[in-house]
Chains A and B, each alone.
Chain A
Amino acid sequence: DAGVTQSPTHLIKTRGQHVTLRCSPISGHKSVSWYQQVLGQGPQFIFQYYEKEERGRGNFPDRFSARQFPNYSSELNVNALLLGDSALYLCASSLPSRDEQFFGPGTRLTVL
């Protein structure tokens, strides 16, 4: 079975631009979570979606938004990019009754 996939792998944007990151969960996983990992830190929770509904939101500004589609894939959108948004963005999927999460390879976002 394919693991969690994310696209693109790398992305370079300039301040003020908008970015969309994509994630496809493992087949059968209905829950998708997004994390931001700044260099040298652990991942920070951004959003969780389950069955297309937002189940949780971390301490991130409204510039960050996400959605989940009927096929359980997900998009993370970030508007008005700031230099501080430069990070590795990780997507993870899980089964509803399990706490362990399966992570994708991440999207490395650089904001110049």
Chain B
Amino acid sequence: SQQGEEDPQALSIQEGENATMNCSYKTSINNLQWYRQNSGRGLVHLILIRSNEREKHSGRLRVTLDTSKKSSSLLITASRAADTASYFCATTSGNTPLVFGKGTRLSVIA
């Protein structure tokens, strides 16, 4: 079953714009992770934020976590054509394995 639900399902922006994707989940978590997937191939880990953290940065990525609302957002600043991919949030709680959402398909138009 899917734990997270990403919003929007698809997003199309111009190169240089910022892209924001949201993720909502249902149960308490240990941490929330964001992954990127290019063209239906393997996933690449982007960033992990723990349940006691509220914001985290990595390069052009900024992730926020609101455990009271059970939601997270991923912001990609100054987007590039190479950022075109599907983005998934995934959560862990206790000793459970990663539970993924359905993903957001991002298209960055040059």
Q: Residues on A close to B: CB < 8 A?
A: 4, 33, 35, 37, 39-45, 48, 56, 58-59, 88, 90, 92, 99-106, 108
Contact = CB atoms under 8 A, between A and B. Distances in A.
B85 interface: no
Nearest to B48: A100
A45 B97 contact: yes
7 contacts: A33-B97, A33-B98, A45-B99, A90-B43, A103-B45, A104-B42, A105-B41
Contacts of A103: 35, 42-45
Q: With a 10 A CB-CB cut-off, give which of A58, A100, A108 has the most chain B CB atoms.
A: A100
Interface of B: 1-2, 4, 30-31, 33, 35, 40-45, 48, 88, 90, 92, 95-103
Given A45-B99, A99-B98, 9 more contacts: A4-B42, A39-B40, A58-B97, A99-B30, A99-B48, A101-B45, A103-B42, A103-B43, A108-B40
Given A42-B88, A42-B103, A59-B1, A101 B42 contact: no
Contact of B100 (A43, A59, A104): A43
A96 B42 CA distance: 21
A100 B33 contact: yes
Contacts of B92: 99
B40 A101 contact: no
Nearest to B92: A99
The 4 A-B pairs at the shortest CB distance, nearest first, are namely A42-B100, A103-B42, A103-B43, A45-B97
A41 B102 contact: yes
A17 B92 CA distance: 34
Nearest to A105: B42
